[in-house]
Amino acid sequence: MTLATASIAQNVQVKSADAVYMPGGVDSNSPVWWSDAGFRMLNSTGYSLVSTGWNQFYFETTEWVDGLQMQHLPFWMEAVWKDPDGVLFAWYHHEPGGVCANGLTSPEIGAAVSFDNGLTWQDLGIVMTAADAPDCSAKNGFFAGGHGDFSVIADRAGEYLYFYFGNYGGAVEGQGISVARMAVGDRWGPAGAVWKWRDGDWGEPGLGGLVTPILPAKVAWQAANTDSFWGPSLHYNTHLGQYVMLLSKSCCGERWPQEGIYIAFAGDVADPASWSEPRKIIDDVGYGPGWYPQVIGVEEGETDTLAGRKARLYIHGISLWELEFVPAPAPVDQ
């Protein structure tokens, strides 16, 4: 494991810590929430597991998620939002089969709801698809286009749910980290209710609309030497009073080699243009491909979308680090 230069980015310091392992397999963001049963976590690898424990450091049970009411298989549960009445809403990454003869797929984003604390899920349908047709000649090894590898976070007022996702197809100018949103009031009927951000406006439909990426790809995902951020994971940091985004960056060869883990900050999740320039915090995690960075706050009630001064940093389901967030010093009068 190699920390980036000085191991400090704007407002955060990376510290080595004792290893913590998520239960089950990990192949996406792993959302967590609290309930009367305790601390809950979903892990996905095309199927999903739900684990229950006292906190992220101690789990008592791990069970298979019942996906019999899911129409879009396989699915990776990447984000969860708990309704005030306890109902769980989730959003999943779906990779349809039969897209390309060479095995490449074009992911989509769907929605689901659970009435039993995450053990069973009912499919609410696909809510986001790409505007561009799949390119089966793509050389990245996995995707011919599509939208996926995302996270969802509510604004502080609870009015909108924001999707930060990767767009993998079309012209290179439209590829990279992109944003969409849905009014919380539309959560029960989400298909057709998601709107993508393009040219400074939320006017493109989630199903088939175009995007303006906030972090554009430098080299297209169709190329063998892709150079692009992907896999955003967002949380609101109460200590900073800011939103924080962790990112993977693939560069510059086939099958998504990891160039590093990056971090960015914004005061308003509703202003996609306000994010700071991403800064690298880790060069090499020292194991596996090093994908899927995310935080989980260490205090009771904190999750993967809400954290305070200290949080554990997980990469591909393993945490070897603690992040400490420090507000930027006030400017000194000259």
Confidence of residue 286 (pLDDT cuts 50, 70, 90): confident
Ordered by where they begin, the domains of the chain are 2-325 (2.115.10.20)
pLDDT of residue 253: 86
- Count of helix runs (H) and strand runs (E) in the chain: 0, 25
Confidence of residue 194 (pLDDT cuts 50, 70, 90): very high
pLDDT of residue 10: 66
Asked whether residue 135 carries a pLDDT value surpassing 70, the answer given is: yes
Distant-in-sequence, close-in-space partners of 116: CB < 8 Å, separation ≥ 6: none
- Type of residue at 87: V
Cβ atoms < 10 Å from Cβ of 27: 17
Window from 245-249, 260-264, 326-330 with minimum mean pLDDT: 326-330
Q: What is the pTM for the complete model shown? A: 0.95
| Joined tokens for residue 53 | 């424990």
